[in-house]
Chains A and B, each alone.
Chain A
């Protein structure tokens, strides 16, 4: 049997069915993340600490994934730095962006986890950043 790869023109000359699923979701933030979101309003980044191993999860988690016990205290975390970053040239539909966007993974010293953020300034791996907007997505500036 011979298989038939299609060319772009062939695809466009055929009848196509357009269908858009109307699925709308109302997600819940959960116990720990709800506190975190309230913290953002006060200009704070909250983590949550495991009573057994002492790991501080950012964003906060209800339970410790290693010890599998309930995390207890919420603590304000500090000293954000850039663990990784990328510069995006295309959007999710494959369209070229007018201006590339820098996105980074921001971590906080002595914590587990991290947050995604828009990055302003000249980014450097491992470099310190300051938070300019306590929002989702977070917005940070290179120090």
Chain B
């Protein structure tokens, strides 16, 4: 490396680095730094009808956010729904992750590909697949009525549909995060516990769960954060009748053209992210 860049002395080197970095710095300024700073600023601007933004500084958006109980309601609904989905995703993903961690060879590779394959499929497609499963005329209702159940059950275009769909859509992320945190789980620890007379279930609760706790914390953090900010699936599977933070940001930005309001809600989402991050780092510290 030294030889390859030997004839570039200090000044030249700095100049070259600056030149090579200019494009990426420009793009990052245009589509990342400036828009995000501007978003923060706009949450303190007045909303004018038709997508206009008043120039004066005002606390109005934030006061409205606190005073209007509708916003508190969607905040609580988003956070509560995400917490429930995170828990369900963990329940559904943990056995797969544990099995993958223990598997080996070509079988493991094959299952691993099955886990990441859904990630390569658009969220729109997987959401659509859930409509085909859950709709009044879908697979589950048709199967149940074949068994003589009083169908149709309303499984989609409400909260139930969002919970089922998002749980499945977030599973690959959870499985990957769990596997990343399973490093400390050595089969010899389980064998030792079993040899010393522990029952399998006891081994699971006292050995496997504590050893995999860092992976569980990481997976839950990821899953919660993705869930709070997901939009496509809740919008379609909720049928426009379930109001959440992400769907409200979209509605205010695109339908009612209240950009300062949407900006304020976006900052609120980032605050929820921050709170989740604090909880996650605290949990990690306690585990160590």
A and B assemble together: no
Identify the A interface with B (CB < 8 A).
none
Identify the B interface with A (CB < 8 A).
none
